[in-house]
Structure 1
């Protein structure tokens, strides 16, 4: 069994390699765009204000939001390209992250170049004109050499920003050092969180120091220093490219996963099933519900597990409450008809939202159901994950039971349970298959009106894999084979405070209880 440090080191080449490539590409494109635009703006007041306003405005948009906004835009462009040329491109992962980081890199470069030229002594320009220099000669021989230190300071700032912000690329499907941080936060693997932060900081400091050497070489006109630092940066990028893009990186299937423990375990379980049949699989984890569903529909991923209630309410926009069997049948038909997605079947458990309280607090207030909760809600606080309050589930619960809480708060799910235990909130929207419910002796409130729809875990494959018999055969043993009790145990093996194991190890434990296909 690998310890957290050993497991972190094992995936370091992949995570660091992708992080370096993404950051280097974004910074290179950012410099290529920023320098000519800044030089034009320094000579045109008409262009200067709009350009500076635009690059400043970009900085007000949170990095993760900007990356997520690019994803649906790129999906539209991919569909248009497919119609026009017959071939699209993957909108998940690298492209949305690259575009967002490129925009983030521009502000310090543009601002420093414009400010540097604006603050040059006017007599230098007059002297250049007096000796008959052309505009191009004046720029290359006078202005750029003089503002080189200021320009490099802007590039250094941009590099640090880009490397730091690139850790947010994980939720849009791009592997980066953020994989350590996002998965570590969810599974309370603090060594992974610290490891990801430390490696990202070390990378930023190293790049900053190499750029500082180039800055000093420009100021002192020492070409050897410039070339040595430049070659070191280039070697780093080439090493990263060889690490992640080399011949050993064969991938037959791409598995999607959302950003909580159960999804990490199920993705690893699917990957292990595929590996048993001789197929290599990559996992895109930490994806949001809307992103992962679109990724499957657009063939950016091949397979993932979602929940019937999520598809029913969020994707289909339905608010009625049919029986579980009817809901699954209608979901299967809708997925195939509207998106070409094939539903292989339900895994055998559901993971529904469940309003939950500490048992002592529920007993104190005499609360056993959500109907009871309605009478006490004005004096209580409710905590949830980031998605719950935007879902139709919350609207149906709130309106059906007349829930009016004094305060509502959103948490990363790990901290949501901590907040309940510490008394920071009185009620949480927990997950019915979460092992922490039993481990923490929590009370799940009954839903007498059945306002919360079923959330059966369903296995789905992308349109391009609809007729992939090998994939279907490898995953068929999972259908109906994961009871909720086993899933709770697997989740708790990862989430328990002491002696927790990795999602991959929990998946192996879960997989031992599921027979392999007889055709393998």
Structure 2
């Protein structure tokens, strides 16, 4: 004898079927979000923080993310071209000079347009919107010396070079976009003395009054301490801009059209002061970069 199906059982079956259909529809709608995006980062604090911000934003949108951290800067572009990663945070000046081997340009918009066009032609890679965060070359002076001698620009510095001790990092003295480029525009820097120190020691050397001036990158975390360190203005614009921007394979971007909007929101939230402060939390305050990135992401959601 067949058992009669009770009305309650029929209702349960209908509800289960409805949920299954809804789930299938949801999976179809969000299919692109099931894609795994491999995010690479270079092997220094700032790039790790920014890459983690990209990852958090994509995960928040439903994407699966594979983090590929601390890739050497010399090979990360090749990793992208060879489909070992899908995207990473790059710098417009690096793209122009180190990757494309093109002539120096100092206007940020022109640098961006140049690298965007050339990457598309040569590599089928897209530069998304660049941020106002500029991690470029610069010179830092002890604030007490800056105030004593009235030095706020590199032009001021050149006039007082004979009174100042330079803490070199060696490489910057030889690089085409380093001191040689500086001296072609500002004139010879006839330092009172010049001694080579490891880059990791330069702020200690300045703090200990063993030197007065050192090369710097414009978003280094130690620069938040303006009572001790002053970043000099490049008033003649010798150095190219190094604005942060995401670079991504065209195939990945075309398959995930909402990805650009998600990542561009991160870039829009970053400027030089903001990224310097984030770097300081890691390099000065010794917080974990993942924690710093998460706290900042939560503040801009």
TM-score, with structure 2 as normaliser = 0.76
> What is residue 235 of structure 2 aligned with on the other side?
448
> What is residue 336 of structure 1 aligned with on the other side?
120
1:390 paired with 2:175, answer yes
- Structure 1 residue 376: deviation in Å? 4.0
Structure 2 CA distance for partners of 1:426 and 1:368, relative to 1, 3 Å = same
Distance between the aligned counterparts of 1:466 and 1:421, measured in 2? 46
Does the Cα contact within 8 Å between 2:181 and 2:238 map onto a contact in 1? yes
Residue correspondence of structure 1 range 158-307 to structure 2 within 5 A: 252-307=36-91
Output the aligned Cα RMSD. 2.7
Does the Cα contact within 8 Å between 1:314 and 1:392 map onto a contact in 2? no
- Structure 1 residue 513: deviation in Å? 3.2
Distance between the aligned counterparts of 2:282 and 2:268, measured in 1? 22
Q: Secondary structure at the match of 1:511?
A: helix
Does the Cα contact within 8 Å between 1:383 and 1:425 map onto a contact in 2? no
Structure 2 CA distance for partners of 1:324 and 1:473, relative to 1, 3 Å = closer
Does the Cα contact within 8 Å between 2:172 and 2:179 map onto a contact in 1? no
Q: Secondary structure at the match of 1:512?
A: helix
> What is residue 459 of structure 1 aligned with on the other side?
246
Q: Which runs of 5+ in 1 are unaligned?
A: 1-249, 516-520
> What is residue 279 of structure 2 aligned with on the other side?
491
278-287 vs 421-430, which moves further: 278-287
Residue correspondence of structure 1 range 134-149 to structure 2 within 5 A: none
Q: Secondary structure at the match of 2:129?
A: strand
Structure 2 CA distance for partners of 1:513 and 1:279, relative to 1, 3 Å = same
Higher RCO (Cα < 8 Å, 6 or more apart): 2
Does the Cα contact within 8 Å between 2:129 and 2:246 map onto a contact in 1? yes
Q: Secondary structure at the match of 1:309?
A: helix
- Structure 1 residue 507: deviation in Å? 0.6
Does the Cα contact within 8 Å between 2:132 and 2:270 map onto a contact in 1? yes
1:411 paired with 2:198, answer yes
Normalized per residue, the structure richer in helix is: 1
> What is residue 270 of structure 2 aligned with on the other side?
482
Number of aligned residue pairs: 263
Q: Secondary structure at the match of 2:112?
A: helix
Does the Cα contact within 8 Å between 1:299 and 1:464 map onto a contact in 2? no
Distance between the aligned counterparts of 2:141 and 2:96, measured in 1? 27
> What is residue 97 of structure 2 aligned with on the other side?
313
Q: Secondary structure at the match of 1:305?
A: strand
1:424 paired with 2:230, answer no
Distance between the aligned counterparts of 2:295 and 2:145, measured in 1? 35
- Structure 1 residue 450: deviation in Å? 0.8
Distance between the aligned counterparts of 1:384 and 1:251, measured in 2? 43
1:501 paired with 2:287, answer yes
Which residue of 145, 153, 156 corresponds with 1:372? Answer: 156
Q: Deviations over 1:324-377 (max 9, x none)?
A: 222211111011111111111113321222201111122334433212322444
Structure 2 CA distance for partners of 1:306 and 1:273, relative to 1, 3 Å = same
Distance between the aligned counterparts of 2:198 and 2:98, measured in 1? 20
Residue correspondence of structure 1 range 12-91 to structure 2 within 5 A: none
- Structure 1 residue 445: deviation in Å? 1.5
- Structure 1 residue 313: deviation in Å? 2.0
Q: Which runs of 5+ in 2 are unaligned?
A: 1-33
Segments of 4+ in structure 1 off by > 6 A? 385-388
Q: Secondary structure at the match of 2:300?
A: coil
> What is residue 31 of structure 2 aligned with on the other side?
none
Q: Secondary structure at the match of 1:317?
A: coil
> What is residue 28 of structure 2 aligned with on the other side?
none
